[in-house]
Amino acid sequence: MFIESLTLSGVRNLSATRLAFHPKGNLFHGLNGSGKTSLLEGVYLLAVGRSFRSHIARPVITHHEDHCLVQASVQRGSLQQSIGIQRQKAGGTALRINGQTAQSHAQLAAVLPVVLLDTESLDLVYGAPESRRRYVDAALFHVEQGFLGVWQRYMRSLRQRNAGLRRGIIDADTAWRDELARAGELLAQARVGMVEQLSLRFAEIAKGLSPSLAAVELISRSGWDASMPLREALERSSQSDRDRGFTQVGPHRYDVRIRLDGRIAADNLSRGQSKLVLTALKLAQGSLLAELTAVPPVYLVDDIVAELDATHAQKVCELLAQQDGQVFMTAVEEQSLRRFWPGDEFKMFHVEQGLIQAVAV
């Protein structure tokens, strides 16, 4: 699977344009602020429905414009599909697949899986559990057909129970507890299974990037005392939940601990090691998706080579080139891209003041 062509208008500082891409490597260079990251942001917006730089639409849309538009022609084997998204500053969103209205962002995400690799993603290593839950759930969304429905069931039950707890409605506790427990157990089982698969690939890739990461691993933390069923944990926490006004145990408290030599990695990694751990996490996710779904993701890689020494930048680029998926990679200097990207399967673009132009390889 790869993006054959992309049309953008009204996306930050980018000029309205239509671009044709290489099915493997697409390398973008230009000064900071030229629009390189905005291009990746446009692809991410199309695939996920939101920006990775802002959770609201207004900053993504060009000043003086009332909307932005991103459309792509996606090649999946012998099948070609067109997808598009239009976001309004006023808040409206229109989604299209093959000329027909799509009902949810999930439909676009299913057509265009993406893996984002940028230095801001270090929240995955250092940040709150929510980032790591999203990481695991993103893989499950593409791999497990019924996952989205289970996740929605759990979150709906959680919202309803919490609303009742806040309002002091005692019946809300027991009314939603069974459904919360049923959906929560399924959600937890899916996450644990996914982390087991991700952990094997993650450890292998991390070790290949640096021998200092040979003993790195991923450990699931369920969000409640795993020695008992979730329903029992909810019952035991019931009075405390009523006092506090929210549900304290369950998969919404799930986390994935990253450990190195048996210790919490975030407390012991150097800055350079943390970037390699992040890279290994994202490559593990992408390679697993490619194997289990037969639909390789598009890798969006923002200026990562500038954050690594030459040896590790070379290794990361070699690993990306070996993946089945298409790669969009940015850097300030053209020479660094040419130096680190292996082989000749790529197309080069120059970005200057919002204008993107293909250049001779």
- Return the axis-axis angle of helices 230-244 and 170-209, rounded to nearest 10°: 110
Residues in contact with 353: Cβ distance below 8 Å, sequence separation at least 6, in sequence order? 13, 34, 35
Q: What kind and span of H or E run contains 361?
A: none
pLDDT tens-digit map of 204-232: 999 999 999 999 999 999 999 989 999 99
pLDDT tens-digit map of 139-153: 999 999 899 999 999
CA nearest neighbour of 20 among 44, 4, 43, 42 = 4
* Residue ranges in the chain assigned as alpha helix (H): 36-48, 105-111, 123-126, 129-143, 147-166, 170-209, 230-244, 271-293, 310-322, 334-340
pLDDT reported for residue 138? 93
Per the DSSP assignment, residues forming a β-bridge with 263 are 260
pLDDT band at 25 (very low <50, low <70, confident <90, very high): very high
Query: Which residues in 15-45 are b (16+ Cβ under 10 Å) and which e?
Result: eebebebbebbbbbbbeeebbbbbbbbbbbb
How far apart, in whole angstroms, are the C-alpha atoms of residue 292 and residue 168?
45
pLDDT band at 317 (very low <50, low <70, confident <90, very high): very high
pLDDT at 126 over 70: yes
The tokens 């959600």 sit on which residue? 187
